[in-house]
Amino acid sequence: MGTEQPGAAAASAGEVDRAAYLDETARKFGISVEDYLLPTHGSIRILDETGRLRDVGEQGTAPGHEYPMPEADELLAAYEALVVGRRVNDQNSALVRQGRMAVYPSSHGQEACQVAAALCLGDNDWMFPTYRDSVAVMTKGIDPVETMTLFRGDWHGGYDPAKYKVGIQSTPLTTQLLHAVGVAHAAKLRGEDTVVVAMCGDGATSEGDFHEALNFAAVFKLPVVFFVQNNQYAISVPLAQQSVAPSLAHKAVGYGMAGERVDGNDLIALMAVMRRAVRLAREGHGPLLVEAHTYRMQAHTNADDATRYRQDAEVQEWMAKDPVTRMRTYLQGEGVLDEAAEARIAEAAEAMASQLRDGLNAEVEPDPEDLFRYVFTEPTSQLAEQQARLADELARDAATQTEATR
């Protein structure tokens, strides 16, 4: 009979809308939809492994995939955050060994990703970090001791997410991506120009939450940049045993969003790629996925022994690609970084480390009644009764101790 069903008509209208949306974005760059969505042939890399500026033809760019260089003063500020971040990682690892924190997942070697993720955002944008992204949180301007409060085993996250527009560092794998998409959806409904950077590692791309977050963001054209730090291992599982996709960036295409690949140890390339992604998301082109190819130089956490699943030669190979060394070499060669600036930056890094030591070595006196204060806005009668009973017990215990000292 050829009678069209209502559902089919709706799906057809949706497909037309979807195609028009992608066509509009691709036309902006004068390229095909496929060229817009698919990752470029290689990673975007502006500096080589020695810190030399690569020729434009070697940087991995293509028509419609251009990435303007940040200004010199922006690069110097980013380098300072990079050096401070390295010092933070080393200091926190020491504090764990001294028993001042329960655990620390170091981002040593991944600091360029951390800095770029924080610096690409505007004042009204949000960032949703993982447990390994402490340096990114601090680069957003959050007090270092407040940032590390979560890792000393306190009952709260240390800082106010709404005040800083930074989610609490998520320990459950990948849940932060769903939170990020929810905030982006709310912002779009309110008519705000907020962009959200949702951070995760390569292991998170194997989780169901990853699929749900990307699919929802793509269907509703939400302003989210999914930033995947591919550090090669999901704790001890190498990437080759997690995914057979050509790259993690290719996963974006299945959701109808663009995927980008970038050298995760090249701070300049990261800043350029992330800025472009944030700009596109803000202009209404929907979500994007950026895969940064980097390496976790140290163990997963202090509770891990990385020598059981990777070879020293592999670690040595990545040491030669260190993001701090590359950036320092480039800035010195350009005459942007001199001895005075190096001294000032080193002093800032030591000041940050000192603040961490002082804050985390300070003893915290927990209040047992905090167990009840922040469960509900209006406590239930049962909780109120339990709190009163505990308060009475504590008061009688204190009176007994006072009597014993007389």
Which of 52, 279, 309, 374 does the annotation list as catalytic? 309
Write the DSSP string, 157-177: -SS-HHHHTBPPPB-STTHHH
Q: Are 259 and 251 in contact (CB under 8 A)?
A: yes
3-state SS assignment for residue 404: helix
Helix (H) or strand (E) holding 198: strand 196-201
Burial 228-265 (b: 16+ CB within 10 A, else e): bbbbbbbeeeebeeebeeebbbbbbbebbbbbbbbbbb
The one-character DSSP state at 301 is S
User: Helix or strand or coil: residue 26?
Assistant: helix
CA distance 182 to 99: 37
Catalytic status, residue 309: yes
Catalytic site residue 179? no
Q: Judge whether 296 counts as a catalytic residue.
A: yes
DSSP code of residue 194: -
Find the angle CA(108)-CA(178)-CA(141) to the nearest 5 degrees. 45
Q: Where are the alpha helices (DSSP H) in 30-53?
A: 33-37
- The tokens for 352 are 């940050």
Q: What span, in angstroms and rounded, lies between the C-alpha atoms of 159 and 236?
A: 31
Q: Catalytic residue among 152, 179, 300, 326, which?
A: 300
Q: Choosing from 276, 285, 296, 328, which is the catalytic residue? A: 296
Starting from the edge strand earliest in sequence, which strands make up the sheet with 224-230, in order?
126-128, 196-201, 224-230, 288-293, 258-263
| 127 bridge partner residues | 166, 197
- Please name which of 286, 291, 127 lies closest in space to residue 219, comparing C-alpha atoms: 286
The dihedral through the CA atoms of 245, 249, 252, 256 has a sign that is: negative
Q: Which residues are catalytic?
A: 296, 300, 309
